[in-house]
Amino acid sequence: MAEWIAWTRCATCGFTSKDVFERPDDRPPLDAAAPVACPQCASAARAIMFPAFDVQTFDVSAPGDALYDPIDC
């Protein structure tokens, strides 16, 4: 089962909060028209909810190909 992350950030005082839920129904619904009140300063804060995902890494070492030309970034 995928976990969900609820992230809240207040632009006024800089307060941030991140909560992890097993189901999106475990958190009160977020309404884009009604901003969430910041628990620290009571200003309007931005709150979003999104599914958590695993980050995968890949080996990108140079292959044994003589025509391989790495691009410098």
Query: E strands along 1-73, which residues?
Result: 4-9, 16-21, 36-37, 44-51
User: What integer pLDDT is reported at residue 65 of this predicted model?
Assistant: 64
Inter-residue contact 4 to 53 (CB < 8 Å): no
User: What integer pLDDT is reported at residue 24 of this predicted model?
Assistant: 63
User: What integer pLDDT is reported at residue 47 of this predicted model?
Assistant: 85
Q: Is residue 68 part of a domain?
A: no
Nearest 10 degrees: Cα torsion 28, 32, 34, 35: 80
Query: What single-letter DSSP state applies at residue 25?
Result: G
Q: Is residue 27 part of a domain?
A: no
Range of the domain at 48: 1-20+36-53
Q: Is residue 31 part of a domain?
A: no
Blockwise average pLDDT, block size 10, the chain, 73 residues: 82 90 68 76 88 72 65 63
With 0.75 as the threshold, say if the pTM is over it: no
Q: Is residue 4 part of a domain?
A: yes
User: What integer pLDDT is reported at residue 55 of this predicted model?
Assistant: 67
User: What integer pLDDT is reported at residue 19 of this predicted model?
Assistant: 86
- Per the structure, how many domains does the chain have? 1
